[in-house]
Amino acid sequence: MNPAFNESTMTIAPTNWVWFIVAVLVFLALDLGVFHRKPHAVGFREAMMWTTIWGSMSIAFAFWIAPAMVGEQWTGDHTKLFITGYVVELSLSMDNVFVIALIFSFFRVPAEFQHRVLFWGILGALVMRAVMILAGASLIHQFHWILYIFGAFLLVTGIKMLFAGDEEVEPEKNIAIRLARKFYPISTEFDGQKFFTILNGRRALTPLALCLIMVETTDLIFAVDSIPAIFGITNEPFIIFTSNVFAILGLRSLYFLLVGLLKHFCYLKYGLALVLIFIGFKMLIVLWEGRPTWLVFEHNHNLVLIIVGSILGLSIAISLIASKFKTKESEKDS
């Protein structure tokens, strides 16, 4: 195996995996069963509170909880890898926020029902990503050259993203929705926050259910980009899984925090594209035997974190400056 892609250096006890998954399920149960038992529109302050909570829990996991669980195997490098993976996954999830907003708008989902869709959508996303991570880790263990395919895929995806147009929601082209329509009648009216209702004496899907299907399939598409990206940072399954979980769990509150600010992040997509290009380049550059030392990223975790953070920070800063400039121009015109 190429030394750039070493085998996993941590042996995680099955009980640690179980405890982590159980803790996540408990938090999700509290979320839906206690904090959001009654449907309500999530405001900016509540979204900010939950974003802070999930972000703080992610940092606590990287610096204190994971070292306590894993023991001496968890080093400072593993903390850096977790943070880098978490930042990349959360940033790529931000692109998902734009599409979710379009889906909610298309189906005219009332604000008080949006959290329920996101809850079940994210629960499904956790299951799908767990399967993809386990499959990816198993394949890489057997065939390390798959990482080069991942790298080329990310490079091409990033370049395409740079020149792609605006996202569009087209349910009629969604295979999962077309299959659902074959097996169930579709109601045109919402039935509270239910996914199923009774239509002409038959069990039928509500528009909320179609919205959930769109969210799930959209996340699957985004996962095809994000999972190879995290493998470009580390091949430790525990770090890959936990960083993905924390990023996905924070996506709900991040959505409600950013939904009113989406128009101000016009250049974020280009920053995300550059991150994918950089990670793909990082995965492929190991094939260049005579490369300069400044292109050796394999063990320079600080540099990778700085580059990723700088790209994302710069794209956000440029977006905010451009948005402020456009606001001033529109005020002048009016």
Q: Average of pLDDT values for 79-105?
A: 84
Average pLDDT of the segment spanning 313-327: 86
pLDDT at 212: 92
Tokens coding 242:
């936990």
Q: What is the pLDDT of residue 289?
A: 67
Check residues 122 and 80 and name the one with the higher pLDDT: 80
Q: Please report the pLDDT score of residue 3 as a whole number.
A: 41
pLDDT of 298 = 65
Q: Output the pLDDT for position 51.
A: 86
Is 7's pLDDT higher than 70?
no
Residue 48 and residue 274 in contact, taking contact as beta carbons nearer than 8 Å: no
Note the pLDDT tens digit of each residue in 277-309.
988 888 888 777 667 666 667 667 778 888 888
Report field, pTM of the whole predicted structure over 0.85:
no
What is the tens place of the pLDDT at every residue in 154-183? 889 889 888 876 666 677 778 888 888 888
Q: Which residue ranges make up each domain of the chain?
A: 14-325
Residue 2's pLDDT band, with cuts at 50, 70 and 90, is very low
Residue 204: φ, ψ to 5° = -135, 155
Would you say 218 and 96 are in contact if contact means Cβ atoms under 8 Å apart? yes
Mean pLDDT, to the nearest integer, of 187-197? 90
DSSP sequence for 90-129: HHHHHHHHHHHHHHHHHHT--HHHHHHHHHHHHHHHHHHH
Identify the residue with better confidence: 204 or 100. Answer: 204
Calpha distance 123→196 (Å, rounded): 18
Percent of the chain having pLDDT more than 70?
88
Q: What is the per-residue pLDDT for 4?
A: 43
Nearest to 23 by CA among 52, 51, 60, 77: 60
Q: pLDDT higher for 35 or 146?
A: 146
pLDDT at 107 over 50: yes
pLDDT category at 1 given cuts 50, 70, 90 is very low
Compute the average pLDDT of residues 218-231: 82
pLDDT at 195: 92
Backbone angles phi, psi at 129, to 5 degrees: -70, -35
The C-alpha torsion from 154 through 155 and 157 to 163, rounded to 10°, is: 150
* Selection from 11, 40, 87, 47 nearest residue 257 by Cα: 47
Tell me if 140 sits within 8 A of 5, measured CB to CB: yes
- In angstroms, rounded to a whole number, what is the distance separating the alpha carbons of residues 156 and 280? 8
Q: Which ranges in 61-75 belong to alpha helices (H)?
A: 66-70
**Model pLDDT, residue 62:** 94
Closest CA to 254 of 26, 84, 33, 98: 98
Q: Which of 96, 101, 131, 103 is nearest to 248 (CA)?
A: 96
Average pLDDT, the chain: 83
At 294 the pLDDT is 63
Read off the pLDDT of residues 43-73 as tens digits, 9 standing for 90 and up.
Answer: 778 888 888 998 999 999 999 999 999 888 8
Give the CA angle between residues 11, 14, 20 to the nearest 5°.
100
Mean pLDDT of 260-279: 82
Amino acid in position 196: F
